[in-house]
Structure 1
Amino acid sequence: MYVALCGGQQRDFEWDSRTQGLVHSAFFYGFTASQAPGGWLAGRVGGSKLFGLAIGGASLLSLMTPSVARAGVRPLLATRALEGLAAGVAHPSLDALWPLWAPPLERGRLVSFAVAGYGAGMVAALLPSGYVAARFGWPWVFYLSGSLGLLWSVLWWLCARSRPGLCGGISPEELAYITESLGHSRGAPQVVAYPWCSIATSAPVWAGVAAIFVGSWNYYTLAAQLPTYMRDVLCFDLGRAGALAAVPYMAVVLVVPAAGRGADWLLIRGLGITQASIHLSLCI
């Protein structure tokens, strides 16, 4: 997306640096605003359904982006913000699935494998997007990514389920293992009353928020600005800029699963249990 916007600004639009910043940041305003509501909705309608809808909605808006961009900056800003709203719902929707699917002693590996998918997605998008934009035009980056996202969301909707008990393809042995390890009944999940005041005044919670904020700022700043930096400062062509911008996310694909396995190793051996695994993950 960022390589495509970079190519569009270079070829078809005369955006100054302030406008470029607004176009990039509009997505994150929506992304931030929908995190908490997305978690609330996931707990009531099911993380699986909401995750598929979120990805499908973001993909549809991606398909619309080239046409909206030609209509003006304001419609583009609104579309990018809406796309951020949809993408922001996806994160807590996926998080809502882990307590229902992932056994405690395997959760680090499973969650880290999924998180590594974010980096793999960035690599898969950035590597070809510069060349696609240079060869066929920047709108085709949005057309291809949006079409693939819609196709994937349909497959997800058909195959994925919010709870193991609703999955027709799971074996009785695996279902028994998951439910027994989690201590869940096979019925509908119960509504939990959360101690919001205690959570809001917890120092460890705010420490985690700060760590995630710093990590997210670094992750998404690189995603948004690195292609432009490669093109404007280092003078690479658009194809090479996109490919080089993918390099940091290759490290994510390699490091994050290793961190998950390390966290599970600590849990299995009782070396510090949960606190040690959290500290290790945040440090990495």
Structure 2
Amino acid sequence: MCFTLPKRWVLSIMALFGGMNLALLRFNLSSAIVEMVDVGSQDFNESAKGNSSDLSPDFEWDANQQGVALGSYFYGYAISQVFSAWCGRKFGRARVIGICSITASIVTIMIPVLLRVHFGVFLAARIVIGALWGCFYPLMHGLFGIWSPACERGTHLSIQSTGAPLATAAVFPLSGYLAEDYGWQYPFICTGSVGLVWSAIWLLIIYESPNEHPTIQPDEKQLIETSIGQEIDTDPTHHVRWIKIFKSPRVWSIIVASFLEHMPYYLPLLLPTYIQNVFHLGVKESSSLGGIPLLTQAAAYFALGWIVQWIIAKGYRTSTVRKTVYFAGNLISAIALVSLTRVTGSVAATMLLFSVQGAASTVTATGIKASVIDMAPGFSGVLFAIMNSAGSMMGFITPQYAGILREANSVEPAKAWEELFLTGAALYIVASVCFAAFGPAVVEPWAQKENGEAEETPLLTP
């Protein structure tokens, strides 16, 4: 495969599997926790208990502790983004991704041992795993800024983004079956082992730039260099222009929009708990159902990238297409979340609406994420790190917010989830308005080479 496919597509495919690897290590706890502790509500009935393992839970965590456990990964994930982007520019993005993945995989395999030591040690390990994997998306954005022709960026990002929901759809039922049939330790051991295999392959076949790749074809190299252009600063030795970046209103528009949209985006983290908590299903059933919307999301990620690329190729302004698709997708997601508050008695309707919400939320790949590369290809890793750090804060805010709501509505658990869904819907709308009104349209002046002028830079159309 590596010798026949264009090297930029090899990078995209490895990024897809990298996203899968990240999701395996991020969400393995989401299903395992159902077997580790009792996540049911106070009215969790005997028939529901009959669907779960006959083994007693090993840990007595209340709803708040469960929220902290599920969100602990994101503390590290949020704080490491900008630093990892700097490390990638200094030491090599591909190399940093590989080393961080190997280390995170080893720590994941050790989780069952660390859990027996102390709850705080377990939380520290999850924070470390998150911090190590915080490098992936910022550095992948930096690599795509070097490897991806402008007209293919949305497609490459969509392929990469397909990996996480695809793996999450698999890890929910897989972790559920492993946890129930063999023990909650096995989801951590298996996902960590998969991570080690991917890391080794990545370090062997991925290179930092077309100039460094020993077997790239000359025509592919010329295509990439011509598309990126001569006026755009992609030299990793140049200093990041921090003051100009943070003075840009367009940068702040993507930071704010990303922060707001990530709250409902992280709802799949809570899906197995929601299904068991509201519908009183066992760990196998809740984990399997939790994967269905993510399969829809993966398919939508893959299809949307090609659709947006086709629309842009028709001659439409790139920024207009990105903003329109992003706004429409978030609006559909918001409607689906509001509708979820009215169908708490139907498992089928709930899965359908979660699937719609998951599919529509994929507009983030061809919207905000692609715009980051459009506005500053040479600094896209740093920009994405800043944006994703803001968004990743919702990774620990969301499960803890859900835990607070569940504690406050312990007698009526469905009401807690209703409030959570309505909050998510409102944030989707505000994020869409923010990005549509103030999002980037052209390459930013500070992303040009020193002798480049912003007004001389053409709009980013193929």
1:257 Cα offset (Å): 2.6
CA deviations over 1:64-119 (Å, ceiling 9, x no partner) = 11111111101011111111101111121111110111111111111111111111
One-letter amino acid of the counterpart of residue 308, structure 2? A
One-letter amino acid of the counterpart of residue 325, structure 2? L
Paired residue for 1:262?
307
- Verify: 1:180 aligned to 2:229, yes or no: no
Paired residue for 2:141?
95
Paired residue for 1:17?
63
In the alignment, the residues of structure 2 paired with residue 99 and residue 199 of structure 1 have an alpha-carbon distance, to the nearest angstrom, of 17
In the alignment, the residues of structure 2 paired with residue 36 and residue 191 of structure 1 have an alpha-carbon distance, to the nearest angstrom, of 16
- Verify: 1:42 aligned to 2:88, yes or no: yes
In the alignment, the residues of structure 2 paired with residue 202 and residue 100 of structure 1 have an alpha-carbon distance, to the nearest angstrom, of 23
Paired residue for 1:27?
73
In the alignment, the residues of structure 1 paired with residue 315 and residue 240 of structure 2 have an alpha-carbon distance, to the nearest angstrom, of 28
Paired residue for 2:271?
226
- Verify: 1:59 aligned to 2:105, yes or no: yes
- Which residue, 281, 284, 289 being the options, matches 1:236? 281
Aligned positions of 1:1-284 closer than 5 A:
1=28, 2-10=30-38, 11-183=57-229, 189-223=235-269, 225-281=270-326, 283-284=328-329
1:261 Cα offset (Å): 2.2
Q: 1:55 to 1:72 in 2, by over 3 A?
A: same
Contact 2:89 2:236 in 1 (8 A): no
1:133 Cα offset (Å): 1.0
Q: Give secondary structure in 2 for the equivalent of 1:62.
A: helix
1:238 Cα offset (Å): 0.8
In the alignment, the residues of structure 2 paired with residue 148 and residue 73 of structure 1 have an alpha-carbon distance, to the nearest angstrom, of 25
Structure 1 segments unaligned to the other structure (5+ residues): none
In the alignment, the residues of structure 2 paired with residue 217 and residue 60 of structure 1 have an alpha-carbon distance, to the nearest angstrom, of 29
| More deviation, 170-179/99-108 | 170-179
CA deviations over 1:20-70 (Å, ceiling 9, x no partner) = 111112111111001111111112222211111222222111101111111
One-letter amino acid of the counterpart of residue 264, structure 1? Q
In the alignment, the residues of structure 1 paired with residue 196 and residue 202 of structure 2 have an alpha-carbon distance, to the nearest angstrom, of 10
1:169 Cα offset (Å): 3.6
Q: Give secondary structure in 1 for the equivalent of 2:250.
A: helix
In the alignment, the residues of structure 1 paired with residue 102 and residue 324 of structure 2 have an alpha-carbon distance, to the nearest angstrom, of 35
Give the helix-richer structure, 1 or 2: 1
1:143 Cα offset (Å): 0.6
Q: Give secondary structure in 1 for the equivalent of 2:60.
A: coil
Q: Give secondary structure in 1 for the equivalent of 2:134.
A: helix
1:219 Cα offset (Å): 2.4
In the alignment, the residues of structure 1 paired with residue 297 and residue 132 of structure 2 have an alpha-carbon distance, to the nearest angstrom, of 24
Q: 1:283 to 1:36 in 2, by over 3 A?
A: farther
Contact 1:35 1:92 in 2 (8 A): yes
1:248 Cα offset (Å): 2.1
Structure 2 segments unaligned to the other structure (5+ residues): 1-27, 39-56, 330-462
Q: Give secondary structure in 1 for the equivalent of 2:162.
A: helix
What is the aligned-residue identity percentage? 28
| More deviation, 135-144/274-283 | 274-283
In the alignment, the residues of structure 2 paired with residue 240 and residue 159 of structure 1 have an alpha-carbon distance, to the nearest angstrom, of 39
CA deviations over 1:227-262 (Å, ceiling 9, x no partner) = 122223321111111111112212221222333223
| Larger Cα-atom Rg | 2
One-letter amino acid of the counterpart of residue 243, structure 1? S
One-letter amino acid of the counterpart of residue 223, structure 2? Y
| More deviation, 225-234/70-79 | 225-234
Q: 1:205 to 1:275 in 2, by over 3 A?
A: farther
Contact 1:113 1:256 in 2 (8 A): yes
Q: 1:54 to 1:190 in 2, by over 3 A?
A: closer
1:278 Cα offset (Å): 4.3
TM-score (norm 2): 0.57
In the alignment, the residues of structure 1 paired with residue 121 and residue 236 of structure 2 have an alpha-carbon distance, to the nearest angstrom, of 42
In the alignment, the residues of structure 1 paired with residue 323 and residue 203 of structure 2 have an alpha-carbon distance, to the nearest angstrom, of 32
Contact 1:132 1:140 in 2 (8 A): yes
In the alignment, the residues of structure 1 paired with residue 140 and residue 307 of structure 2 have an alpha-carbon distance, to the nearest angstrom, of 22
1:162 Cα offset (Å): 1.3
In the alignment, the residues of structure 2 paired with residue 221 and residue 157 of structure 1 have an alpha-carbon distance, to the nearest angstrom, of 32
Q: 1:72 to 1:209 in 2, by over 3 A?
A: same
Contact 1:266 1:272 in 2 (8 A): no
CA deviations over 1:258-283 (Å, ceiling 9, x no partner) = 33223323432331223432442464
